[in-house]
Amino acid sequence: MVSPTGVLDISTYATLRDILLKCAIDQPRAVVVDLGSLEISGESLLSVFATVWLRTCDWPGVPLLLAACPPELHGTALHRYVAFHDTVDTAVANIHRPPPTRRAHLTVPHGVASLPHARAFVGEICAEWDLRGYAVAEIQQVAGELLDNTMQHTNSEARLRLELRRGLFTVAVGDDDPTPPVARDPGADPVPRGMGLLLVAEFAKAWGCLVDPAGERKVVWAVLRTGA
Longest CA span, the chain: 60
Provide mean pLDDT across the span 90-117: 84
Q: At 168, give phi and psi (nearest 5°).
A: -115, 130
Confidence label for 98 from pLDDT (cuts 50, 70 and 90): low
DSSP 8-class letter at 2 = B
β-pairing, 101-108 with 158-165? Answer: antiparallel
* Angle, CA of 59, 135 and 166, to the nearest 5°: 45
Q: Could you give the residue range(s) of every CATH 3.30.565.10 domain in the chain? A: 101-225
Average pLDDT over residues 196-215: 84
Highest mean pLDDT range out of 48-62, 117-131, 174-188?
117-131
* CATH domain 6-93 topology: Transcription Regulator spoIIAA (3.30.750)
Q: Which fold has domain 101-225?
A: Heat Shock Protein 90 (3.30.565)
Please list the residue range(s) of the chain that carry CATH number 3.30.750.24.
6-93
Residue 24 CA to residue 21 CA, distance in Å, equals 5
Does the predicted TM-score (pTM) go above 0.95? no
Instruction: Specify the pLDDT at position 177.
Output: 93
